[in-house]
A and B are shown apart, each in its own frame.
Chain A
């Protein structure tokens, strides 16, 4: 049995407290009034730094059109200025919500990705992985709280994250009425969003609950009935998962840009969650092994996990590029704005994540010998994880905070908060059962696994 070391427990609490403080700080400092934002913009216009475009917007209202005798025009400029300041004010208000949401989703998707990986290992009757099952089961313990937190943040944030949650957008009387969003309101409405979210979470958690139950029961069972049951529910879950994962990615991520759509988006999010999940599996396995808890895991298992990290990094890149290149190539205005904003305002994270998620792993993990060296896998894994955090960051932020993004206190604190929660829940779950499955039919094969 594994015991959660006090050091690590304290560490996770420190992360959570630091994170919570930072998140609170983010919310307090983001409450800027209209005048403050106006002042901020005027200052930026003075410095003329990176926000030249806004400076051009902000300045005319005060001075240029004085010579213009058309009162109407002048009025319109003032209106435009007001709109612009309100727009920026919204973006500043959205930032702590988005930072919290990105981090919450990131850690939730690690648990969800590894749950899918676990189901695949059982359904394919893999002979190498059963020694890692308990680590995977520990990680999936985060799924239920993590996913509920994501849904809760989405619902509480409302139109801070999802503009379509603003009732004015579907109200034809309102000046904010948006015909396109109104047309999608059959799917994109708050009630549907919550119901669908709860169905997804319930389905995933039910599979998690029963697979864990059968896995524990198989330890002491005389026959293989629990194994057979877990095989059947794994196959069923995978079918459920691929539908719900796709819909979840539309709901929880793609709908932050309700005017935009992409058909392979579900797969793209899936690739991201799968590779992050496997990477965290490798990191936790290496941590537990370094503490002498997993003697039965050898470098051959590590090699296989690292191969998955390598292969799914490439798979992620394939989907990222397919999505980008098809839209770039055809250049249809209604689709391409998605990438135009990312290219203009997020150049470094947008291109940097391709280096972190593709170039780095492909060069680090191509060599078969390197995949067996723990510190090498840890190094590559940390870069991959950071890269996929930025991937989620790039999906959410441009729609909510636009060019007002920065990886500062709200973002880092949110990551710390959920990292602490993740560590606490996962390692607590790891203490609940022996780290080696006992009665699983492929256990012996897995222990003797040699590549």
Chain B
């Protein structure tokens, strides 16, 4: 397995995603002789995982079973260990398209955080692109670099432990796209410009607060960025349900009584109607962040 290439069978050293049930996933580093505890019992890697096909059903010691899934950036996003607030798939999808990422793209990102977006970028730009990611928190930078290695995508990424607002991205004139998820993106706009190709490219900044957006837009305009646009994308999940609506009893219908035969034919009175529909979850995320996009023109 690798996060950028599918394989059919689980091997020693892979990262597999255990699907325990609705919205309950768990990443597992597959190791000969290792065991993983789940709420359905223990999974023995040597017999239960290694050599099995991805997507198989695995029976745990307590008799319950789980599915073992091939890792993807999307599954990783909902199961990864949080070291920071992370970006979720809805925003990631929008960012990927609006930054025009594709195989071969060279991308700069800061901060790396927990690597949720990084994995999605790497998947999209493989096999010929490269990601330069900057994280000023040393421990986080080290941890994420370790993960890239485990996920066999380290050949596509360079992690730099520095402050992007002061030191920039560590590259210049190479990037097709830049992504900023930092508290003061306006301080990094000029570094973004430096990192980007002379021929131009796309930039995106993610900020939770509108004041941050204001300052970023000003900085982008000052630096000559064009096509500045701010959007917000919200995900709505629809829970599929079969609901039953009771029918009120209006009492005997006098008009129907005139024809007793017809009343008999209708048989027992229906008391409810069931239908397949969806309901919104009780609570949904109402805001993640504003996404500001811009184009760097040719310089």
Whether chains A and B associate is: no
